[in-house]
Structure 1
Amino acid sequence: MEGELGAWSENVLDYFLNTNQIKTRDGAEIIWYHAANNKLQMKEAIQSAAHMIEADVLLCGEEEGNGEPIMAHPPETNSDNTLQAWLNEIVNTKKGIKLDFKSLAAVKPSMMLLEGIKLHLRRLVWINADILPGPNGTNAVVDAKRFLDTVTSFCPDVTLSLGWTTGWQPQQCNKGYSWAMVKEMAQICDALTQPVTFPVRAALVRQSKSELLWLLQKSNRYSLTVWTGRHDKYSIEDLLYLRENFDKSRIYYDILEPQNSKFRKAIGIEV
């Protein structure tokens, strides 16, 4: 099993170093394409310089629970792209993939599709869901046990991306990830054997330094993936602060423009 499926959970930096797509063990070198859902976005992502392509999966006709997995992000519930068609295209690239699930309904049929192409998809596969409530989080969480049981039974060696539901309020003091939040996540992940990355919101990370450092120190399997809300206010200095305080090989940056280009320029990575 390990030899056959190992590529799915290979360290991101090792994979892209070994394929000569990056130069150093620095998570900031990894370029992301976010929300590559419809066919136009998917084509753009494939042709882009991105190393990792992130997309969102939900079940067509989710209320009935008998549809097929399609590529869309709520509130969108329709798409011109199915997961099957999406995977058929991605298989022919050297890019890693991250599939994001907002509910449990699409997980099992999606894992069955992934299992069916495992011999052809010999590269990084990340599976993401928000399984715990986080700072200002109002969205429903995906049931942690059922999500993890389903994913690991079909695809035992994917990299798991396990996050918290979060919110960000303008003109307010936004609290970060609390000790209770990171300790609950650590408890869930302690029993896992897969690599785990924790998606964390850029505007909330600086005030959570101690908690997130503690979480990363629990296992060398753990990393952070910093992401940004479209309307969040945060500074490039916040990102530089993270870089100074965390191991740069264990923190990835899936952030929006123009901050992404400004950040890469500030740390001397070609844009």
Structure 2
Amino acid sequence: MAAPAAGPGCWSENILDYFLRTHQIATEDGAEISWYHGANRRAQTEAALRSAAHMVEADVLLPSAGAGAVPSQPVMAHPPETHSDNTLQAWLAALLPSTKGIKLDFKSLAAVPPAMALLDTVRGRLQRPVWLNADILPGPSGSSNVVDAKPFIDTVTSFFPAVTLSLGWTTGWHPEKANEGYSWEMVREMESICSGLSQPVTFPVRAVLVRQSCPQLLWLLKRSDRYSLTVWTAKDDSCSTEDLLYIRDCFDKKKVFYDILEPQNREFKQAIGITANL
């Protein structure tokens, strides 16, 4: 018997609405949502499940040939790593008994169809936020390969028409020089891709590049009430609490989520009076 479909709009529900409705947060504020980032290997996945995080983020790719890899079996790894002790199938099985939302980040188009097929087998048991992410456009100092936008979106939505899409830009950051932010050309190109969609879209943006990009990103958010931002930090980014507070003051608190690494996450939440969930 086929698994029952996820509830109407389940994966398109705003995560603030979901976590408020399930009494996991107290206010309609994106900073209330806590994240566990990079839960790829089994030990990291187990740590994420033990944590108080509301959302668990992990990376999906197809392993390179050799080392006993099964080419069609998606695994949880972030380049330059291409192998893992955790498959997507095992990762989903581990997450299912929890109440945590999930965000899957795709590093290549090849991993998307087999991953969607695996997600399809558990959709009836994932009555919670599900976000599917890919970097589909080159961004500030971005050097990584992009995931081709149209086939990514078409494949994902052919399986899950109401899923929340997380569509971003490749980025780089250089501490020794001034870094340009997201340009008008970049945000307009993203809007041209997303304007014809019906799904909610969140735009992952690198925290160290947001302050100099506020006019462009404010413009983008105003194009649709389906849009939001997810502000993230990389391991070696020099992102101050002051920068994060500036971002918070510029945008609607209901439209910005913060996937921030420690210690910035704790310092930021202390500054705004929110207890950091770890």
> Could you say which TM-score interval applies, normalised by the shorter chain?
over 0.9
Structure-2 residue corresponding to 1:90:
95
- Structure 1 residues 26 and 2 mapped into 2: Cα distance closer, same or farther (>3 Å)? farther
Match of 2:130 among 116, 125, 143: 125
Structure-1 residue corresponding to 2:34:
31
Structure-2 residue corresponding to 1:106:
111
What RMSD over aligned residues (CA atoms) do the two structures have, in Å? 1.7
SS at match of 1:248: coil
Alpha-carbon deviation of 1:2? 9.2
Structure 2 unpaired stretches of 5+: none
Alpha-carbon deviation of 1:5? 4.4
Match of 2:234 among 202, 220, 229: 229
The answer as to 2:49 corresponding to 1:46 is yes
Following the alignment from structure 1 to structure 2, what is the Cα–Cα distance between the partners of residues 37 and 3? 25
Following the alignment from structure 1 to structure 2, what is the Cα–Cα distance between the partners of residues 157 and 242? 29
Alpha-carbon deviation of 1:65? 9.2
Equivalent position amino acid for 2:154 in 1: D
Following the alignment from structure 1 to structure 2, what is the Cα–Cα distance between the partners of residues 29 and 62? 41
CA contact (8 A) 1:5 1:118 kept: no
Structure 1 unpaired stretches of 5+: none
Structure-2 residue corresponding to 1:6:
9
The answer as to 2:145 corresponding to 1:140 is yes
Match of 2:18 among 9, 15, 18: 15
The answer as to 2:58 corresponding to 1:55 is yes
Following the alignment from structure 2 to structure 1, what is the Cα–Cα distance between the partners of residues 136 and 70? 20
SS at match of 1:119: helix
CA contact (8 A) 2:20 2:26 kept: yes
**Residues 238-259 of structure 1: CA distance to partner in whole angstroms, max 9, x if unpaired?**
1111111100010000011111
Structure-2 residue corresponding to 1:240:
245
TM-score, L = length of structure 2: 0.94
Alpha-carbon deviation of 1:125? 0.5
Following the alignment from structure 1 to structure 2, what is the Cα–Cα distance between the partners of residues 268 and 175? 31
Alpha-carbon deviation of 1:66? 3.9
Structure-2 residue corresponding to 1:255:
260
**Moved runs in structure 1, 4+ residues, more than 2 A?**
1-5, 60-67
Following the alignment from structure 2 to structure 1, what is the Cα–Cα distance between the partners of residues 246 and 204? 17
Report 1:215-226 matches (<5 A): 215-226=220-231
SS at match of 1:4: coil
Following the alignment from structure 1 to structure 2, what is the Cα–Cα distance between the partners of residues 65 and 224? 35
Equivalent position amino acid for 2:170 in 1: T
Structure-2 residue corresponding to 1:162:
167
SS at match of 2:236: coil
SS at match of 1:224: strand
Equivalent position amino acid for 2:53 in 1: A
Following the alignment from structure 2 to structure 1, what is the Cα–Cα distance between the partners of residues 36 and 135? 19
Structure-1 residue corresponding to 2:219:
214
Alpha-carbon deviation of 1:47? 1.1
